[in-house]
Amino acid sequence: MNVQKKLEDLGRKVLSEIERGENPNIEIPIRSLSNVKYDEKTGMLTIGDKVAKRYFFNIAHAKSFMQTTLVAAFCKELKESGLHTSLRDLFYALKRTLPNSQENTFNEQNESDSIIVDLEVALDVLREQLNLNADVRGRIVGDIIIEDRGDEIDLSKLGSGGLAIPSNVEDMKFKKVKAKGILVIEKNAAFERLHEDKFWQKNKLILITTQGQAARGARRMIQRLSQEFNLPVYVFTDSDSYGWYIYSVIKHGSISLSHVSERLGTPSAKFLGLTISDIDKFDLNQWTIKAEEVDIKRAQEMLNYPWFKSPAWQKELKLMIQRKIKAELESLSGRGLRFVTETYLPTKFKEQDFLD
């Protein structure tokens, strides 16, 4: 169903309740941890079916009811005008003091952010479909031609910089995709190294750097390319809990955004490296770093996540906890600047040495 229609239906429902003299309410699925579960079948974190009703005539609900209708009305205007905006701009656009009162519609941005997530869940839409842009981060190169806002863009001909992944890739069209897979890289430095060696061309891969934790635009782009062209996804991060979590979010979704896993997650993604085992296999011991308390603690938590239960992952997590070491992508440069493109990656791909 069309997003504008969903917003209108929400308004009509509330209106008809008012006309019938009922207490108007909006149903919002509960987003707390108790209602988030890991779905073994799809390989994704998903939201359960517990729902709360937000009533207008309820002192505890009245303000958030008002906020919900304000945000929904604003999003409907965005859809009608075709404008896009950011979460922070929405906050400013809706923040005001109610007439004859000291009461603000919103005091802090986290209030409007939270309502936006409520609407995403309640209407089963992405905030990008509500014309709200998320943070941008990430770059892409490869043998692809896309169409975005009427421009046809050849991602194999963008020099050293690559395309800045937009915050919103909903309306992007993929005109031509000549690739056998997608290599997702945590860090820009490694991405640049691979790009300079034209690794994507030689190996028929699309290269994406997330520049840290993947922004929603990057996650959605990975998912769309993977699903629409049946491409395998390989994730390449530092050998530490943070890097492995980046992989996990790309693959399974995140706990806080479990309601959109289905639209942002790529359960078929595989972890390429770095693993702790890689450190021995590729003789990187000289360039490891001592794992901090926080790394160890995080790894211990991950040991218990159902989506890290494969024997291979359990082994790597335990190795890190036992040996108390981690390693960065850049440690491969200890073996020479071209070690990553000439030895490490070719070996991993040849041996299909991936974690799942």
**Catalytic residue set:** 92
CA 2 to chain CA centroid, Å, is 23
Question: Which of 2, 46, 349 has the alpha carbon at shortest distance from 199?
Answer: 349
The answer to whether residue 224 forms part of the interface with a second copy (CB under 8 A) is no
Q: Which of 6, 193, 216, 298 binds a second copy (CB under 8 A)?
A: 193
Closer residue to a second copy, CB minimum distance, 287 or 354: 287
Show the CA angle centred on residue 38, arms to residues 169 and 248, nearest 5°. Answer: 55
Closer residue to a second copy, CB minimum distance, 66 or 158: 158
Question: Which of 209, 219, 161 has the alpha carbon at shortest distance from 185?
Answer: 209
Closer residue to a second copy, CB minimum distance, 50 or 88: 88
Contacting a second copy within 268-307 (CB under 8 A): 286-287
Q: Which of 202, 228, 292, 336 binds a second copy (CB under 8 A)?
A: 336
The answer to whether residue 168 forms part of the interface with a second copy (CB under 8 A) is yes
Q: Identify which range of 56-64, 148-156, 268-276, 301-309 contacts a second copy by CB under 8 A.
A: 148-156
Least distance CB 99 / a second copy (angstroms): 13
Closer residue to a second copy, CB minimum distance, 12 or 175: 175
Alpha carbons 273 and 348: distance in angstroms, whole number: 8
The answer to whether residue 147 forms part of the interface with a second copy (CB under 8 A) is yes
The answer to whether residue 11 forms part of the interface with a second copy (CB under 8 A) is no
Q: Which two tokens stand for residue 43?
A: 């390989």
Q: Which of 8, 17, 192, 353 binds a second copy (CB under 8 A)?
A: 192
The answer to whether residue 92 forms part of the interface with a second copy (CB under 8 A) is yes
Contacting a second copy within 105-144 (CB under 8 A): 133, 135-136, 139
**β-strand 139-141 against 163-164: which pairing, if any?**
antiparallel
The answer to whether residue 338 forms part of the interface with a second copy (CB under 8 A) is yes
Q: Are 336 and 189 in contact (CB under 8 A)?
A: no
Q: Applying CB under 8 A, what is the total number of residues that bind a second copy?
A: 56
Q: Which two tokens stand for residue 301?
A: 């938590």
Q: Which of 23, 58, 97, 227 binds a second copy (CB under 8 A)?
A: 97
The answer to whether residue 337 forms part of the interface with a second copy (CB under 8 A) is yes
What beta strand segments (E) does the chain contain?
25-29, 36-39, 44-47, 51-55, 85-86, 132-133, 139-141, 144-148, 151-154, 163-164, 173-177, 181-185, 205-209, 233-236, 270-273, 289-290, 325-326
Q: Which residues of 99-108 are buried (b: 16+ CB within 10 A; e: fewer)?
A: eeeeeebbee
Q: Please report which residue ranges of 20-108 form alpha helices under DSSP H.
A: 62-81, 87-94
The answer to whether residue 160 forms part of the interface with a second copy (CB under 8 A) is yes
